[in-house]
A and B are shown apart, each in its own frame.
Chain A
Amino acid sequence: MPMLIDTIDDATARAACARLANRPDALIEILHAVRRASGFVSDAAIATIADALNLSRAEVLGVVSFYHDFNRRPAPRHVLKICRAEACQASGGEAVATRLESAFASAADTIEIRSVYCLGNCALGPAALLDDRPIGRLDPDALIDELTVSGVLSGGVE
């Protein structure tokens, strides 16, 4: 039996909307709160937010799909954002990114690599952000060693 979408209510999204007074102009802040709590923006969250903010689901989905920050599927436990913009390209960032992509390929369930364009650390490139930790002068081998020791890449490297 198909589930009626109107019966789905996402408690996290409902609480985030209430905290921001169900204001439609706070939609992006609400989506950030949902993403932080749940790791992604689900169909149920979209339906709940639409209901709370008196928007259509299409309007909410339109906003979700516009911004790179809002992923529609659960993210792995760790996300490594690597800067691929010009200043980091000029610091050898492309080779670093390629090396890490191949090293992390077998650990895709625990760590995801995302390309971002500028982290504002352009004098110390290549730059990255591992979850919330900024990394400058990114040394791929040092990072692979660290993540192997900490178990994130357990046994999966090389």
Chain B
Amino acid sequence: MTGLPDRIYIPGDSAARSVGADGVADALAAALPDSCEIVRNGSRGLFWLEPLVEIDRDGVRLGFGPVTPDDVADLVATGFPDSSHKLALGPVEDIPQLARQQRLIFARCGLAAPSDLEAYARSGGLRGLEVARTLAPDTIIEQVKTSGLRGRGGAGFPAGIKWETARKSSGERKYLCCNADEGDSGTYADRLLMEGDPFTLIEGMCIAARAIGARHGLVYLRSEYPDAIRTLKQAINVWREAGHFRDLVDGADVDIEVRTGAGAYICGEESSMLNSLEGKRGEVRAKPPIPAISGLFGQPTIVNNVLTLGSVPWILAHGGEAYRDFGIGRSRGTQAFQLAGDVARGALIELAFGVSLRSLIEDFGGGTRSGRPLRAVQVGGPLGAYLREADLDVAMDYEALAEIGGMLGHGGIVVFNDRVDMAHQARFAMAFCAIESCGKCTPCRVGATRGRETLDKIIAGDEIEANLDLLQDLCELMTDGSLCAMGGLTPMPVRSAIERFPEDFTRLAAE
């Protein structure tokens, strides 16, 4: 079947734009009649297919991709054929890498323009907030506790318990802060949601605000995400105009403000983020007190990651029990796994906890893009462990990863091929910590620089055994003595690289 559609979709997402979506949109606008509406939707998160053009034919979304501006004339001339065209992908929902996902947070991502509130409501949005409006705050918190939802920023703390603490704390005012400072390399889920379906985050924040009694919401969004800042601000305005902020906390309205970060990785650490939100240097605070008791401006404050808050609308709409049915062990619900690096089909894969790392990389990711053998995988961002091919059967959940000396972090998975030099990766971990350390505590501030220098010596072949011993001592000190996870976890990639790839550290000694 062919014919020009009434409506055509080309993502306005920054990842799609980075590979030419704007040029495709311009070519479509020039080639199609005015009667055809061009929608700049969010991305589906199937990045190897971007720019992914979709048309609506009899209620089915058909995909074409990756499309270049030069392909547009041919697609229009042939009337977007269902299957015979070389770029035709068939129904988007049937693409195996999407069809096999369990999308709860990302269910609506990429379906419509990110500021289209009617489309949001038509596709299941707003139901969670409608339920929450009928519930007392304590009942909302009970639902979240039942769901087993844990913090998706990396620490994995039970969200319901955090909310309960803030609810019970007294203060002049309470704050809800959304941590959208997604600085981990290999992660982009927060960005994808904020650019593709920002209402899900806003709805989650409204529910959280009602539960803890906070009228003031802030989103701390990194400056490296200019498109997400623009899209989220626009969506907040639409939400406010529609009246959905009204009458949420004891009859009072809620509002959300977007604050821009300024290029400091450490501001993803919650206490550093709170200082930054107060207009200060993003230095880490000592705990206790925890933010739920004394956070922003000394008031009870909840800091939750984008995906934690983004999970909440589904939990309220379907109930905590239903959410709990996904996942294994103490890791309940779904996780947004993000495939990155040398991977053939880079994509966001939302699935229940417990899927194996191998399945994510091989079945979903299609192995390496370069075709070279996989050698290492870093899971959980720059502070996560490097794993070997032999580790790939690990189940992806908080506890199973911890058992093999790794961590889930924010769900980033970076694939390296056999050209990687693990001594250089270990050095980079220390160098990155030295660049991004806030400087507050000595183990991190000084340790990272000494660690980088020691690795330089090892790489140069200078007293390798003695320097490796020294490095292990330093790693132990940083782990035990640092104030926050930056200094405390930088040893994880370093030690895992030494333990799993010793040959890369002793090669010079052998020569």
Contacts and interface: CB of A to CB of B under 8 A. Distances in A.
A, B from the same assembly: yes
Interface of A: 23-29, 31-32, 62-63, 66-70, 81, 83, 85-91, 116-125, 127, 129, 132-137
A124 B50 contact: yes
Contacts of A24: 278-279
B304 interface: no
Interface residues of B, number: 62
B346 interface: yes
Interface in B394-442: 412, 414-417, 420, 425, 428, 432, 435-436, 438
B15 A32 contact: no
B414 A134 contact: no
Interface of B: 14-15, 17-19, 47-48, 50, 182-188, 190-191, 223-228, 259-265, 276-283, 297, 338-343, 346-347, 369, 378, 382, 412, 414-417, 420, 425, 428, 432, 435-436, 438
Contact of B19 (A27, A81, A90, A124): A124
Contacts, number: 152
A40 to B, nearest CB: 14
Given A67-B261, A68-B264, 7 more contacts: A25-B297, A28-B276, A66-B438, A85-B432, A90-B341, A120-B15, A124-B346
B436 A117 contact: yes
Contacts of A116: 224, 263
Nearest to B263: A68
Contacts of B190: 120
Contacts of A85: 185-186, 382, 432
Given A68-B263, A85-B185, A136-B19, A28 B279 contact: yes
Given A67-B262, A120-B224, A25 B281 contact: no
A110 to B, nearest CB: 22
A46 to B, nearest CB: 14
Contact of B188 (A67, A89, A117, A121): A121
Nearest to B220: A28
Contacts of B338: 122-123
A86 B425 contact: yes
A83 B15 CA distance: 14
A118 B223 contact: no
A117 B14 contact: no
Given A124-B47, A124-B50, A129-B224, A118 B185 contact: yes
Given A27-B279, A90-B416, A120 B262 contact: no
Contact of B185 (A81, A122, A129, A135): A122
Nearest to A128: B18
Contact of A86 (B14, B47, B382, B417): B382
A122 B187 contact: yes
Contacts of A134: 14-15, 17-18, 227
B15 A123 contact: yes
Nearest to A68: B263
Given A62-B281, A122-B338, A122-B341, A135 B262 contact: no
5 contacts: A67-B264, A86-B382, A91-B341, A117-B265, A124-B18
Nearest to A85: B185
Contacts of A27: 279-280
A127 B341 CA distance: 11
Nearest to B267: A67
Given A67-B262, A69-B223, A122 B340 contact: yes
A117 B183 contact: yes
A125 B341 contact: yes
Contacts of A67: 261-264, 282
A116 B282 CA distance: 18
B183 A118 contact: yes
A102 B282 CA distance: 34
Contacts of A88: 185
A111 to B, nearest CB: 19
B378 A86 contact: yes
A133 B297 CA distance: 36
Q: Which 3 A-B pairs have the closest CB atoms?
A: A123-B346, A90-B341, A136-B18
B15 A87 contact: no
A123 B48 contact: yes
**Residue in A32, A117, A133 whose Cβ sees the most chain B Cβ within 10 Å:** A117
A69 to B, nearest CB: 4
A86 B186 contact: yes
Contacts of B343: 123
B339 A123 contact: yes
A57 B19 CA distance: 43
A89 B282 CA distance: 27
A118 B227 CA distance: 15
Contacts of A135: 18
A68 B412 CA distance: 24
B428 A89 contact: yes
A135 B17 CA distance: 8
A23 B18 CA distance: 36
Contacts of B185: 83, 85-88, 117-118, 122
